[in-house]
Structure 1
Amino acid sequence: MKKEKVVLAYSGGLDTSVILTWLKETYGVEVIAVCVNVGQEEDYDEVKKKALATGATSAYVVDVVEEFITDYVFPTLKASAVYEDDYLLGTSFARPLIAKKLVEIAEKEGAVGIAHGATGKGNDQVRFEATIKALNPHLKIIAPWRIWDLKSREDCIEYAKKHNIPIAVTKEKIYSRDQNIWHISHEGGNLEDPWNEHDESIYMMSVSPKNAPDMPEFVEIEFEKGIPVKVNGEEYNPVEMVNLLNKLAGKNGVGTIDIIENRLVGMKSRGIYETPGGTILFKAHNSLEKLTLDRDTLSFKKTVAQKYAQLVYDGLWYTPLREALSKFVDSTQECVTGKVKMKLYKGNCTAVATDSPFSLYNEEFVTFGEDDVYNQKDAEGFINLFALPLTIRAIMNEKKAKKEQDTI
């Protein structure tokens, strides 16, 4: 009788290597290992070889780095979506894309389900499974960390030794990390006590600001309809651009944050996030929007950005609301075209100059000198009408006070 197939989101690390063997032993299935390349630094040939050596029937390595940037990063950038004012969503918007590829391969292979290595305490389980349910609700989902008897990394190491699973990890490993082209996160270890200052030696994409160059570096970003297209006047494809900005920002100590965040599952967690190039792009984009968007649109867009960030963080990428908000965002970006000069200096990233053919700033109108558009005498009538509710309230308070005085 032909065995059923299960697709496994596979990284080659300890957890997914153990899960691969566990799936075969527990369910008697064929395991299709799928490693989705979103820009993490891996030897993908070795990952594929390891999956097959561990017992996978077949193994895929899927390169989606450019799709990740164009279809997930840039829409979120245009939305100015930042979770809880700090987090640029590096892990969050990679998960829906990874899950999408898992579904596509499951359908191609005729698999009955998808397995993942996300724990029962984190956000990723929701992001993976919500996407799978949105794209193919008929696929079964297997989340070993929620059902097996292994309770820790130490248990996984013992399981791997017992089953001769090749691993390159020890019990002394400190941090849990997630990396893609946009960022890297560090969690666990001594970071679990929020009173502990994090050790700057953990940085992998950037340097400590104190070790950054003593002279500032300037970089010019050019946007077309909210999308970055040039750096210092030279056009780059999305992957090249993000890689270049990661290097520029990283060597200047830009883009590292240490935050406490609210997980979707109800607990707080602490993480160190390095997002060097992304920090430049977000700050440059925000600066250009201030030049090209009117006050009401910019104000309402901030409300949209907050909701957009929450949807992305919660794994709700493939939802009607997120899609509708993206359409609104796209309409606001029609005039977000222009250049921004950014100053990078010892961890700081500051917009120092902006220019756009759609700029709403006009020196002739804001000057203290005379102009043909604005008559300063008109301000008196405007202020009278603008402050009319305050005037009426003051008059009513006077009448109330007089009435109370008369009754004494």
Structure 2
Amino acid sequence: MGRAKKVVLAYSGGVDTSVCIPYLKHEWGVEEVITLAADLGQGDELEPIRVKALKSGANESIVADLTTEFIENYAFPSIQANALYENRYPLSTALARPLIAKRLVEVAAEYGADAVAHGCTGKGNDQVRFDVAIAALNPDIKVLAPAREWGMSREETIAYGERYGIESPVKKSSPYSIDRNLLGRSIEAGPLEDPWHEPLEEIYLLTQAIANTPDEPEYVNISFEQGLPTALNDTPLAPVELISQLNETVGRHGVGRIDMIENRLVGIKSREIYEAPALIVLIQAHRDLESLVLTADVSHYKRGIEETYSQLVYNGLWYSPLKLALDAFIQQTQTRVTGKVRVKLFKGTATVVARQAETSLYTPDLATYGADDQFDHKAAEGFIYVWGLPTRVWSQKLRQTP
């Protein structure tokens, strides 16, 4: 099936993406396959993955360090948006897909490739995220998805790879499917497919079991400038270092686990486990700081924007016109979101216990019930009369109706 001559393949080093290399060449007539592995701070050594791609038949194998761009241009805007899909999932995995798609398109342009490819199957969200993001960035380039079309079982896929020198993986000791980057981990499959099955402690890596957490609380001060995290405990940190340190601190106290039934874009309900210690606490702290500095109408309206924003990111529409329009609104709201939030970490909980900002709208002499109270209590009666007037008129008319 001659669909393209030169292809850039998003490569993870797993069975599917490795088999994609000979499959593209021998079944679809691709002459040159260039693999792209993205370093997103997942902590893995990517040189063996680069070498494996070459052994699997790739003409060239690229490893791209995208960690800083990932945090600054994808994670941090999502924190400003308080993005939680279905009010729970902070999009730690979903946020990586538009960046990988962007780099795929860039490498394709650099190498003069006429197509890009990925190893996604037809059941998950990632196929949509890649295909739509790529189409937004370059609507003229072909997108190939061999694993979505080849119809092979896992056993058949392994056997196909062995025909072309791809070593059969050692028998999988873990039944779970795991994706990781600097923001966190997603865990699914195996016994987790039973919604009644309690996750075993063995699946977690970034967060401690409650029984193993410290017996004393720990406090962390998180500083924000225009909605962006800039310091921990008054120590300025670069974005990647800030996430790394906060992941360790928060995870040590067992904070950052999510166990949810998630509505996938393709219409399937999926049981997902996430670990995202830093991201969860940063969104919590950021939202609390906003409550101090944003007016009530902006704060309330932004909540609806946040839900839409989260759905767009989850559904692969990072580069869509609506997402870009929401970005402009969110950025405008962040001009005053500068201050500090204090979070108490203890036994699986993260609790905001204090906050401060020079642009705070909290006015002590209006809020207090003490002697310094400056609120005009007499004005309340007139306000209540006007505020309740529509309800009062409605009630009177209702009573007069025979």
Task: With the length of structure 1 as denominator, give the TM-score of the two structures.
Answer: 0.95
Moved more, 5-14 or 203-212: 203-212
For residue 256 of structure 2, what is the amino acid of its counterpart? G
Q: Which residue of 2 aligns with 1:272?
A: 273
Q: Distance in 2 between matches of 1:173 and 1:117?
A: 21
- Structure 1: give runs of 5+ residues left out of the alignment: none
How many Å separate the matches in 2 of 1:292 and 1:205? 32
Bigger Rg, which one: 1
Q: Which residue matches 1:374?
A: 375
Amino acid at match of 1:52: L
Q: Tell me what 2:125 maps to.
A: 123
Aligned residues: 398
State the match for 2:317 in structure 1.
316
Distance 1:262 1:15 in 2: 25
1:210 matched to which residue of 2? 211
The amino acid of 1:191's aligned partner reads L
CA contact (8 A) 2:20 2:147 kept: no
Give the stretch that moved more between structures: 196-205 or 231-240.
Answer: 196-205
Match of residue 34, structure 1, among 15, 33, 36: 36
CA displacement at 1:398 relative to structure 2: 2.9
Compute the displacement of 1:162 (Å): 3.4
Distance (Å, rounded) in 2 between the aligned partners of 1:249 and 1:352: 15
Per-residue deviation, residues 56-99 of structure 1 (Å, max 9, x unmatched): 10011000101011111111110111100100001111000001
| Deviation, structure 1 residue 393 | 2.2
1:7 aligns with 2:31: no
Partner of 1:340: 341
TM-superposed CA distance for 1:368, in Å, is: 1.8
Letter aligned with residue 283 of structure 1:
Q
How much does 1:267 deviate?
0.9
1:162 and 1:175 map into 2 onto residues whose CA distance is 26
Kindly indicate whether the alpha-carbon contact (under 8 Å) linking 2:16 and 2:147 is maintained by their aligned counterparts in 1: no
The aligned residue for residue 114 of structure 2 is: 112
Which residue number in structure 2 is paired with residue 58 of structure 1? 60
**SS of residue matched to 2:341:** strand
**Deviation of residue 49 (structure 1)?**
1.1
Q: Which residue of the other structure, out of 75, 78, 88, is the alignment partner of 2:77?
A: 75
Aligned residue for 1:230?
A: 231
**Which deviates more, 205-214 or 167-176?**
167-176
The one-letter amino acid paired with 2:113 is A
Please name the residue that 2:305 is paired with.
Answer: 304
Deviation at 1:392, TM superposition (A): 1.2
Aligned to 1:283: 284
Compute the displacement of 1:141 (Å): 1.1
Corresponding residue for residue 96 of structure 1: 98
**Residue deviations 1:175-215 (CA, integer Å, cap 9, x gap):** 11111100100011111111111112110111122321111
1:169 shift after superposition: 4.0
Describe how 1:84-233 pairs up with structure 2 within 5 A.
Answer: 84-151=86-153, 153-171=154-172, 173-233=174-234
Distance in 2 of aligned mates of 1:351 and 1:173: 37
Partner of 2:261: 260
Question: Which stretches of structure 1, 4 residues or more, deviate above 3 A after TM superposition?
Answer: 369-373
SS at match of 1:27: coil
CA RMSD of aligned residues (A): 1.4
Is it true that 1:44 corresponds to 2:46 in the alignment?
Answer: yes
Identity of aligned residues (%): 48
Distance 1:294 1:154 in 2: 58
Q: Deviations over 1:221-276 (max 9, x none)?
A: 00000000000010110000000001001111111110011111111101100001
Cα deviation, residue 171, structure 1: 4.9
Deviating more after overlay: 130-139 vs 230-239:
130-139
- Which SS does the other structure have where 1:204 is aligned? coil
For 2:97 and 2:276, the matched residues in 1 are separated by: 17
Contact 1:13 1:167 (C-alpha < 8 Å) held by counterparts: no
Question: What aligned pairs does 1:233-248 form with structure 2 within 5 A after superposition?
Answer: 233-248=234-249
Given that 1:260 and 1:270 are in contact with CA atoms closer than 8 Å, whether structure 2 keeps it comes out as yes
1: CA distance, partners of 2:104 / 2:213: 40
